[in-house]
Amino acid sequence: MTDSQKQKICKICNGQQHKNYTAMELVYGTKKSFNFFLCNNCGCLQMEKIPKEIADYYPEDFYSYTKKSRKKDLTIKTLIRKARSRYILDGNGISGLILHRLKKTSALLETCREIGIKTSHSVLDVGGGTGDFVWQLRSYGITDSIAIDKFINEDVYVEGKLLAKKTDIFSIDKQFDIITFHHSLEHMEEQQEPLLHAKKILKPNGTILLRIPTVTSYAWEKYGVNWWGMDTPRHFFLHSHASIKLLVEQVGLKIKKLWSDSTVSQFWVSEQNLQGISIYAHNSYGVSPEKSIFAKSEIDAFERQTANVNQKNRGDTICIILKHEDVK
């Protein structure tokens, strides 16, 4: 078997029948192209050969790695947020109940409730950049929480406490109640190994949250290699619902729940990609809505379409709750 044939064996199911695609780097507009193949058997779209210089495609200003100043905040707003989140996550605190009824809960806090995070839980966020998600969790009162990311420049401390550690999951041996992969698994060269290790350090009744882009989506079918979720070459694996289920079962985990959480960016970024407008261009909707190619009515239509595809579980990103296979 030649090297090029070996590269085209599906890394999820070992399938050898596939369809080829060529996708370009579009976020920074270098337009360098990369080969992908989509497995006919499990439906996983994957990069044929991971570039050796992949770190070069994570520039200093990559969104997860920009350093923000984080100061301890004891304003009334912070105290209110803590009271609300304690009520939402732990189900106690009367002031939180009142505050919860007054204001719509943030999507992130709703996800935390969905996966059953309590303020007493320990949380590990894998591939969490400089710790944005963990910083949010701490603001909700979830203090035993930490991010890890091997691509950050150095460990990040806030007020003398470690927020994000420069490392990968294989160096972690502490047990956690909750392990999250927020759009990080698709950036990893191996798919089984990180999940196997996560399972090893997950407490018996613990929960793993995976958030990934998926080709089982309207956006992939409509936009193909111009689909925003490809983010070439940073995403190596674009799973189908079937391939992620297979992967999870291979490592002895099971899916407790899977749902679409896609956003309107699946439409406006993909439409801009079709027209060669990078998300950082001066006329990108993300930079300047007024100078963009979209009328407000078009964005409104994208919003309605987003709600529609999410409701049909055809959104381009999914949230998946995983448990040990023996947990009922």
Q: How far is the CB of 268 from Zn ion (least distance, A)?
A: 31
Residue number with CB closer to Zn ion (13 or 124): 13
Minimum distance, C-beta of residue 245 to Zn ion, in the bound complex (Å): 12
Q: Does 142 contact Zn ion by CB under 5 A?
A: no
Helices assigned H by DSSP within 72-230 = 76-90, 94-102, 107-114, 132-139, 192-200, 218-223
CA distances from 157 to 68, 97, 128, 288 (A): 12, 33, 14, 33
**Alpha-carbon span 266 to 279, nearest angstrom:** 12
| Minimum distance of Zn ion from residue 296's CB (angstroms) | 42
Rank residues 39 and 148 by Cβ distance to Zn ion and give the closer one.
39
For position 156 contacting Zn ion by CB under 5 A, the verdict is: no
- Interface mask toward Zn ion for 42-61; x: CB under 5 A: x-------------------
For Zn ion, the closer of residues 13 and 115 by Cβ is 13
Q: How many residues bind Zn ion (CB under 5 A)?
A: 7
Nearer Cβ to Zn ion, position 37 or 228? 37
Is 250 among the residues that bind Zn ion (CB under 5 A)?
A: no
Continuous H helices in 252-295: 265-274
Question: By C-beta, is 10 or 322 nearer to Zn ion?
Answer: 10
Reference 310, options 198, 219, 206; nearest CA is 219
Q: Considering the complex, state which of residue 16 and residue 30 has its C-beta at the smaller distance from Zn ion.
A: 16
Six-digit token string for 154:
């150095």
Of 8, 15, 127, 186, which one interacts with Zn ion (CB under 5 A)?
15
Report how far Cα 290 is from the mean position of its chain's Cα atoms: 29
Parallel/antiparallel/unpaired status of strands 176-182 and 202-213: parallel
CA distances from 295 to 158, 275, 309 (A): 42, 16, 21
The answer to whether residue 247 forms part of the interface with Zn ion (CB under 5 A) is no
Considering the complex, what minimum distance in angstroms separates the CB of residue 243 from Zn ion?
Answer: 6
Q: Is 41 in the site for Zn ion (CB under 5 A)?
A: yes
Q: Does residue number 10 form part of the binding site for Zn ion (CB under 5 A)?
A: yes
